[in-house]
Amino acid sequence: MKLSALQQSYLGRRSNSFRSSGPLDSSSDGAFKSPAAVFWLVLHGLSCLISLLLGFRFSRLVFLLLSTSSTYTSPFHSPTELAKTLDIRSVIPADPVGNVPLPFPNKTATNSRVVVGRHGIRIRPWPHPNPVEVMKAHRIIERVQTEQRLQFGVKDPRKIIVVTPTYVRTFQSLHLTGVMHSLMLVPYDLVWIVVEAGGVSNETASLIAKSGLRIIHVGFSQRMPNSWDERHKLETKMRLRGLRIVREKILDGIVIFADDSNMHSMELFDEIQNAKWFGAVSVGILANSANIDETVVEKRGEEENPRMPVQGPACNVSNMLAGWHTFNTLPFAGKSAVYIDDRATVLPRKLEWSGFVLNSRLLWKDGDKPEWMKDIDTLDGDIESPLDLVKDPSVVEPLGSCGRRVLLWWLRVEARADSKFPPRWIIDPPLEVTVPSKRTPWPDTPPELPSHKKPVIGIQEPIIKHTTKTRTSRSKRRSKRKHDETRTDRRTTGFDKTLQN
């Protein structure tokens, strides 16, 4: 009787909570309803009270267990185990699911391992990840992803040959690190040709050595000039130098021009694998337009369609190359930067080299290549844009869903001409110049030296005012303030020195 009452309680709970009380299971409980229900209600109330006292949920089942432990060995495995399961968490070291017969052995097969009823929740003693297993799992994930790339990604990926012109300057570290990290993430084979103006330097070499990529680092004898025009021309020459290396070493792959201040997306490297001979992608032009004044803004407002800052191939309706988008330089006419450290806007060329990719076989001396490719040895003069490398610009393949996807961004940011930075960005102690501090902590000191450093005086003056105002504990305050002053002195002098370096 109690067993069926137990069943009914669970039935009642289940049907009350998540199913509407339709006609309850009318199978066997017709005769048992009233006394069992009353008994159960009393038991429920009692266990509620005990729960209030104890502070955790006290199961009604314990009553039944305590009262009928002899007839009630199944479905519960043992009273002690039930006591264990009263805790919210329980740890079962051994296998509690033995060959315990079910309450109705005549209806169930006795050779079933699976027992209906309450089971313990198995928790191992240290339920935290094992680092060795985590590493194994990551290796499995990598293997699965490699397989996915093999099956669904680009078929027969070609090597990528990256040509980057660079030179040593303050912002080189910033730019080159960005490009380096992008190239380290590329999942294909890579060769990085770094052409450095002013010759090979340790600065650049130490920076790119950390990448672990295959690098060809060559120097270009000319130094980088100070005007943007000259710089563009020199960069073009440096890129041609890079292309000559591709020809000399007979490198096979896709040549991409990664200027060191550009930012590349990972999809770019997947997309250029689709280039057959000569491809073009859309480049987002991020011209620093901080200095445009009101007149230019008005002009912009008058235009019907504000031009997108994108350079790249333009397609017609049938996805064939129809022309080129170029950056509109008219709003910046006369206001653009001339020298590298001008604070005006830096303008891109008509068509940037970084938006073009070519198959390295086009550069080889022999081999089958289309006749529209000019030989790079023959042209050494001024090349305005990479389209000058081909006789017929219509053979260029537009990539990135016909130029609609912008896959890289062009930006030119440089520091002042006289800006200095610590070599390899390591501040080497000790400092070369020492300047005596203004106020020493000792009272008998020589008078203060005249200081030509304005910011230091700026910090000093309020301090001086304070000491004159407070007269009572002047000595203490002064010595304290002297400490602070000398500390700030040292700090500011240190800063000035590094800036001068």
Partner 1 sequence: MRKWFWGFLFIAFGFVCSIAAERNPRTERISGSAGDVLEDDPVGRLKVYVYELPSKYNKKILQKDSRCLSHMFAAEIYMHRFLLSSPVRTLNPEEADWFYTPIYATCDLTPTGLPLPFKSPRMVRSAIQLISSSWPYWNRSEGADHFFVVPHDFGACFHYQEEKAIERGILPILQRATLVQTFGQRNHVCLNEGSITIPPYAPPQKMQARQIPLDTPRSIFVYFRGLFYDVNNDPEGGYYARGARAAVWENFKNNPLFDISTEHPTTYYEDMQRAIFCLCPLGWAPWSPRLVEAVVFGCIPVIIADDIVLPFADAIPWEEIGVFVAEEDVPKLDTILTSIPPEVILRKQRLLANPSMKRAMLFPQPALPGDAFHQILNGLARKLPHQKSIYLKPGEKILNWTAGPVGDLKPW
Q: What does the binding site for partner 1 look like in residue numbers (CB under 8 A)?
A: 7, 10-11, 13-14, 17-20, 22-28, 30, 57, 59, 75, 85-86, 88-89, 95, 97, 102-104, 107-109, 111-114, 116-124, 127-130, 133-134, 136-137, 139-141, 143-145, 147-149, 151-153
Dmax over CA atoms of the chain, in Å, equals 111
Q: Chain centroid to CA 116: how far?
A: 50
Nearer to partner 1 (CB atom), residue 89 or residue 452: 89
In the complex, the smallest distance separating the C-beta of residue 272 from partner 1, rounded to whole angstroms, is 16
Nearer to partner 1 (CB atom), residue 118 or residue 369: 118
Nearer to partner 1 (CB atom), residue 5 or residue 163: 5
* Cβ pair 389, 305 in contact under 8 A: no
Of 311, 272, 312, 309, nearest to 292 by C-alpha is 309
Nearer to partner 1 (CB atom), residue 102 or residue 415: 102
| 3-state SS track over 149-177 | HHHHCCCCCCCEEEEEEECCCCCHHHHHH
SS3 content of the chain, % helix, strand, coil (to 5): 40, 15, 45
Q: Report the DSSP pairing between strands 282-285 and 397-398.
A: unpaired
Residue 163's contacts (CB-CB under 8 Å, 6 or more residues apart) are: 193, 195, 239, 242, 243, 246, 255, 256, 257, 258
Distance CA 86, CA 215 (A): 66
Token code pair at residue 331: 């709003």
In the complex, the smallest distance separating the C-beta of residue 38 from partner 1, rounded to whole angstroms, is 22
Q: Could you please report the per-residue DSSP string of 27-58?
A: SS-TTTHHHHHHHHHHHHHHHHHHHHHHSSPP
Nearer to partner 1 (CB atom), residue 144 or residue 464: 144
Token code pair at residue 459: 């910090």
Distance CA 283, CA 356 (A): 9
Nearer to partner 1 (CB atom), residue 139 or residue 300: 139
Nearer to partner 1 (CB atom), residue 144 or residue 427: 144
In the complex, the smallest distance separating the C-beta of residue 127 from partner 1, rounded to whole angstroms, is 4
In the complex, the smallest distance separating the C-beta of residue 276 from partner 1, rounded to whole angstroms, is 21
Nearer to partner 1 (CB atom), residue 113 or residue 471: 113
Of 221, 135, 207, nearest to 174 by C-alpha is 207
Nearer to partner 1 (CB atom), residue 187 or residue 219: 187
In the complex, the smallest distance separating the C-beta of residue 153 from partner 1, rounded to whole angstroms, is 5
Nearer to partner 1 (CB atom), residue 102 or residue 459: 102
Q: Report the DSSP pairing between strands 406-410 and 282-285.
A: parallel
* Cβ pair 493, 435 in contact under 8 A: yes
* Cβ pair 101, 76 in contact under 8 A: no
Residues 187-211: b if buried by 16+ CB within 10 A, e if exposed: ebebbbbbbbbbeebebbeebbeeb
Nearer to partner 1 (CB atom), residue 145 or residue 316: 145
Tell me how many degrees the CA angle 11-16-20 measures, rounded to the nearest 5: 110
Distance CA 189, CA 160 (A): 6
Nearer to partner 1 (CB atom), residue 128 or residue 465: 128
* Cβ pair 333, 369 in contact under 8 A: no
Q: Which conformational region is residue 424 in: left (phi greater than 0), alpha (psi within -120 to 50 degrees), or beta? A: left
Query: For the chain, how many helices (H) and strands (E)?
Result: 13, 12
Residue 254's contacts (CB-CB under 8 Å, 6 or more residues apart) are: 158, 159, 160, 161, 272, 273, 275, 357, 358, 359, 360
Nearer to partner 1 (CB atom), residue 95 or residue 418: 95
